[in-house]
Every structure is written in C-alpha cells, then in structure tokens.
Amino acid sequence: MNCDSPLTPTRGGGRRSRGRGRPDSAFRSVELDKLDTPLSPKHSELPASPHPNSLVALYLDQMVNPTLEAALFESLTTGQFYDTKLYAFSRKDPSGVVNTPVGIFASSSILKEHSVYFKHLLKGGFSESAKSDLYGEFPADRQPYNEHYSYGEDSDIEDDYTGLPMIGSSVSGDLKPEKDTNDTRSTPQDRSTSPSTAVEIKNKDVVLPDLILPSNSSANLTSGLRGNVIVKPDVAFNTLRALIFWFMTGKIAFAPLRSEGTTAPNDGPRSCSPKSMYRLASELDIDKLKELAIEDIKNKLSSKNILPELFSEFSSLYPEVLAMEINYIQTRADKKILREQFTSWSKDILAGNFPHAVPALLALTESLLPRA
C-alpha cells in the first residue's frame, strides 16, 4: 500500500490527507475500495476485501526486519533473545586514557546479518566466539582501559568524569588512574553489592546505575546465560550502541557537531556523533551508514564552522570527507567569514600546532588557485 498517496474522505468525515506526509497513524483504518491509487503489485494479490488484521500484517511486514523477527521467534522457546555482549569504553581522563567499559547486549544473528566483520568474528576461531557468562564481570584477560585510543577527538567519549549518562552497566576491574596523580582506586570489596555499582574516581564516587540486572541481584552474580563476549577497545560505547540500535530498527539520530556550539536535544540519549559513526562504519565496511553519516555532517556545515571541521583530525583521516568540505568552501561558504578565520588558522598550522591539518591547508590552497 502506498501510504504516501492522498486518501479520500472516510465515512467518519475525516479530511483528505494533504501533501506527501505519512498518515497520522501507521495503523489508520482505510477502505480499500476508496483509495485514489491502485495497490502496488506486491499488495494487488490480496483478496478484494481482506480481514482488518491483514492490513496490520502488511504494515508489520514492512516494519520488522526478517532477521529480527526470526530472533524474536526463537527467543520464545529459548528464553534468550540476546546471546552476545559487547563492551566499549565511555570515559576519557585528562591524560587521554579511555576507560569505564560498558556492556551492550545484542543478538548474534542480527550482528552477522548486517556486518561481514561480525559474521567472521562470531563464526569461530577467535576468542570472541567462545561462550562466557553474559552477566559476568568484564573479561579478566582484557584491560578495562585503553591508553592508545586512536581517535582523540571522539565526542562520543565523555571527557573527564562529568555528565555521565544514565546507562546500564556493571564495571569490574581497576580503572586506569590518571597520570601523575595519587588517586585512590576502589577494590572489589569496596564496591557496592547493590544494583548500582560505585567506582571511586578522583576521590569521589561516580554511580553507574545498573538498568539491566534485576533489582535484587548483585552486579557480580552470574546468571547462567552464556554467549559471546566481545571487547571493542577503540570504539565509544555511545557509537556502538547506536550502531546496534540501527541494526535492529533502521533508525539513527546524530548529535550536533561540537563546532556548531550547540548541545544535543533533551531526548538525545540515542544520538551519537556522525563523525564517530562514520569512522565505525568505515571500519566495518557499512556503506549505507557511511552515506547517512557524511550527509549529516554536510548538512551541519556553515561558513562559521567549516574551517574547524576542515582542519580537524577527523577530516585528515578520510580524503572523501576532506574533498566534500573543500567543495563546500568553493561553492557555498561566505568568503568574508572565511577570511576572518583563515589567517589565525594558517598561523597555528604553520607553527606546528596542528600537524594533522597540513594536508588540508595545502589542499585548500591548491583548490583556490586559478587552474592553467
């Protein structure tokens, strides 16, 4: 059914839908014999007067991913929809060390359906393909921090220890202390056995509310549910969670760029950085998600933030992003605003303050020179 087609008035006196927007409700009741346009070939095979439930089934057929549907159906008998847990880091201390691993639950069938990377990783022969307790502690053979996180500008990593989002988590193992400090780290005995796990950082407690375990369970209790446990040390928790949510629903929300000087909306826990997602989608070879992310970045460029974006670490990593930004400068940017910023930026780059931005400066200069 073409939901974008205009609808004739119903017997109840409802007004004709104008424009090409969707109906007010995905399950709006309409009379098939009153449609202005014929049914699509897919739906023309239906009986002339289908049962109302058939209409609902049509919408559900379009909304539910077949792999998700199969996983849901199987869970009815196994009692376990999620059979995989992925850990990613959520915090960064002033020295640049990322820490505070947070678990994300997922279905292995959905991961493998959407990513060749996960298909090979979970196939076998890797440590991640071994079964572990899904509600157990962070793997003892992995460091709960990363001193060499490769994307220093990742805005999906919380800076310092402020503004912790409300996320379900059980953190185990000592966190990497800040360099040149004498901060005290908590021991397993010091940590609370309540549903919220307290981790002592910088001489004050930060509480990670455990929204996954039952309220009468300790974060350290085992559940008996076994599955794959994967640690992604070079991806932000916020980015990885948004990726898995996109796998399941086809929906993704991108946060504002830092260079815009705005904050995420109040309903923004699901949102992630478009640059961080582009980086992850590139690693996993997910072209559709790369397209969505770079289009969002492009739509958020302006004459005021184009130079900070052009000379960013992110742009230095991806030639296609750099080319898109230079094209924006050539075709859309206000040259007066650019001149006001360019002198300051070029001085800093030539002084060696932003070595990663040298190729961008050269590319921009070359693009502005007249061609022979």
41-71 pLDDT, tens digit per residue, is: 444 444 444 444 444 444 444 456 777 788 7
CB burial of residue 337 (10 Å; 0-12, 13-18, 19+)? middle
List the single range of 133-137, 162-166, 258-262 with lowest mean pLDDT. 162-166
Tokens at 160, concatenated: 């310092």
CB neighbourhood size of 35 (10 A):
15
Rounded to the nearest 10 degrees, the angle between the axes of helix 358-368 and helix 335-350 is 140
- The pTM is what? 0.67
pLDDT > 70? residue 1: no
Q: What is the mean pLDDT of residues 206-213?
A: 38
Please name the residue that has the structure tokens 């910088």.
202
**Which residues touch 320 (CB under 8 Å, ≥6 apart)?**
294
pLDDT band at 26 (very low <50, low <70, confident <90, very high): very low
Cβ 198 vs Cβ 186: under 8 Å: yes
Least confident window among 70-84, 242-256, 302-316: 70-84
Rounded Cα–Cα distance for residues 215 and 197 (Å): 12
Residue 271 has pLDDT above 60, yes or no: yes
Q: What is the DSSP string of 157-196?
A: SEEBT-----------SPPPPPTT--PPPPPTTTS--SSE
Share of the chain above pLDDT 70, in %: 62
Which phi and psi angles does 245 have, rounded to 5°? Answer: -65, -40
Q: Return the biggest CA–CA distance within the chain.
A: 76
**Mind listing the pLDDT tens digit for each residue in 150-182?**
999 999 999 865 544 433 344 444 444 444 444
Q: Averaging pLDDT over each range in 28-37, 44-53, 268-277, which range is the top one? A: 268-277
Average model confidence (pLDDT) for the chain? 74
Query: Is the CB of residue 219 less than 8 Å from the CB of residue 170?
Result: yes
55-59, 88-92, 187-191, 232-236: range with lowest mean pLDDT? 187-191
**Six token digits for residue 147:** 């001193």
Query: Distance between CA atoms of 172 and 188, rounded to whole angstroms?
Result: 8
- Please list the alpha-helical segments (H only) found in the chain: 52-63, 66-78, 108-114, 116-121, 237-249, 274-284, 287-299, 306-310, 313-317, 319-331, 335-350, 358-368
Q: Is 207 left (phi over 0), alpha (psi -120 to 50) or beta?
A: beta
Residue 199 C-beta-side C-alpha neighbours within 13 Å: 22
Q: How far apart are CA 274 and CA 296, in angstroms?
A: 7
pLDDT-derived band of residue 79, with 50, 70 and 90 as boundaries? low
pLDDT at 278: 98
**Least confidently predicted of 197-206, 235-244, 271-280:** 197-206
The reported pLDDT for the residue numbered 67 is 75
Neighbouring residues of 328: CB distance < 8 A, sequence distance ≥ 6: 298, 301, 306
d(CA 319, CA 316): 7
Question: What is the pLDDT, as a whole number, of residue 286?
Answer: 97
